[in-house]
Structure 1
């Protein structure tokens, strides 16, 4: 957000009730013509210079579009934890899957076809008016706040209603970005993929929605042309080897995805351990435990070993804090690690990730 946008938001928030009501009235009447701003955004066509309207109007439109989206009646659950459990169960039962994944920022669809889809639902006339006005100048890629709800509308018309009418027996799970369909054979999966691709073409979708076939067998699939993994709700489902006595078995199971790991590491890197120097360790724990609990709740349902390895970045951040706080440990990472290990031994419930089992590594395994 630019300095000018921050200034405008500050002015808007001085009287939020009156300003929101006035903006809502102007939007509904079709008389809102905010000045366009030139911005360079990264789209599927590379870096693109767009003339986009202000973010407040985009947010209002996104809220209005989100209210038009309805889930399929055969969708089993909207709870992420239940969806992941069902995906794990169905992947173990059905050997093949068809995944439909949307990339909102890369969505490419003809404006006329999109307005035709929205007009089939209960979309308000003023919503269609502004979409026609904005999207006729720039594509969906230039409106980041509208891309996700528009993609959800397309998926609803391309898949949800169609699967209810034509394949009511197909088991599937759905999130905002992906749909996982489970089938018994490769021929059934290939037929379903072809039908979904044809529907997307008829709806005018040129890009931004990927449909592929995945093999969910316990063993490793030998054909390199067939995918053997998929991502769903921050988890990667793929064949994994587990110890079974003296032998090892291969199962198809979920664990935290690479994208979720990177997001956690980036957030941990942003924590300012230099600021923590003035704090005690109990204060640090109180400030970061809510965030850690969110990560454990979201990604700790399956694949605990992978999540513990990911959360070890927090222990490394704490070692850096100890080295900054104690002068006698600034040149010795191992000495700081031993100190952190002693704290974890005395207070194993202090941090949420310690309670989960991601305790500091042995000092003997750390480099000096």
Structure 2
């Protein structure tokens, strides 16, 4: 079981002061009071690793009391006891997933070295993070930059795509292909705006994009990984 905790810190001057306050109010208290329970904290977001449901629920109650003493409270909608369900842990519990640092942790299908399919509790890019990245891609308005050559677009945007890939693609990377497919579709729209021969022919423009990706896979990080575009 894991206890996913988010604090509501009120009356502080800055995130830096809040972080410093939680270092004493939570970190040091946890190491002193529950040395057997590992945890990770980033700002006001915390995961505590508990062995049993009763241990997690007991810790949650203790934290509520601790933070009441510190004039803080746990976020009522973001603090959960989560059951890490997988092929070896098959019990039932209301909450079997949580989000932390842009990753959604939940049961996912995996394959071992012998090709056997099983369920594992794994992180992958969260739907919220995907939505933010899609929104940023949409904000680039690629079709409006038709005068630019593709090499210039790659030089400007590939560092951003590479950063996303290195962070979110570290775990369960297939979830990132949804984002890269959307990016390639926007590049297809850029092609249709740039060349009249592709106007009104989305399929043709995406096939052209794929042929470019096969010739120049170094332009974008996902083309490098695949050897071709995600469309066409």
Match of residue 323 from structure 1: 192
Task: Indicate if the aligned counterparts of 1:228 and 1:238 stay in contact, CA closer than 8 A.
Answer: yes
Match of residue 217 from structure 1: 85
1:251 matched to 2:156: no
- TM norm structure 2: 0.88
Task: Indicate if the aligned counterparts of 2:146 and 2:193 stay in contact, CA closer than 8 A.
Answer: yes
- TM norm structure 1: 0.57
Aligned residues: 229
Match of residue 3 from structure 2: 98
Runs of 4+ more than 6 Å apart:
none
Match of residue 105 from structure 2: 237
Structure 2 CA distance for aligned equivalents of residues 358 and 206 of structure 1: 50
Q: Are the structure 2 counterparts of residues 151 and 228 from structure 1 closer, same or farther at C-alpha, using a change threshold of 3 Å? A: farther
Match of residue 275 from structure 1: 144
Q: CA deviation at 1:311?
A: 1.9
Structure 2 CA distance for aligned equivalents of residues 358 and 183 of structure 1: 43
**Superimposed CA distance per residue, residues 60-97 of structure 1 (whole angstroms, 9 cap, x where no aligned partner):** xxxxxxxxxxxxxxxxxxxxxxxxxxxxxxxxxxxx11
Structure 2 CA distance for aligned equivalents of residues 297 and 99 of structure 1: 25
Q: How does 1:189-228 map to 2 (within 5 A)?
A: 189-206=56-73, 208=75, 210-219=78-87, 223-225=92-94, 227-228=95-96
**Superimposed CA distance per residue, residues 127-159 of structure 1 (whole angstroms, 9 cap, x where no aligned partner):** xxxx6xxxxxxxxxxxxxx3x345434533331
SS in structure 2 of the partner of residue 288 of structure 1: helix
Larger CA Rg, structure 1 vs 2: 1
Structure 1 CA distance for aligned equivalents of residues 188 and 210 of structure 2: 10
Structure 2 alignment gaps of length 5 or more:
none
* Structure 1 vs Structure 2 CA RMSD: 2.3
Structure 1 CA distance for aligned equivalents of residues 40 and 47 of structure 2: 5
Structure 2 CA distance for aligned equivalents of residues 208 and 186 of structure 1: 20
Match of residue 209 from structure 2: 340
Q: How does 1:126-165 map to 2 (within 5 A)?
A: 146=14, 148-165=15-32
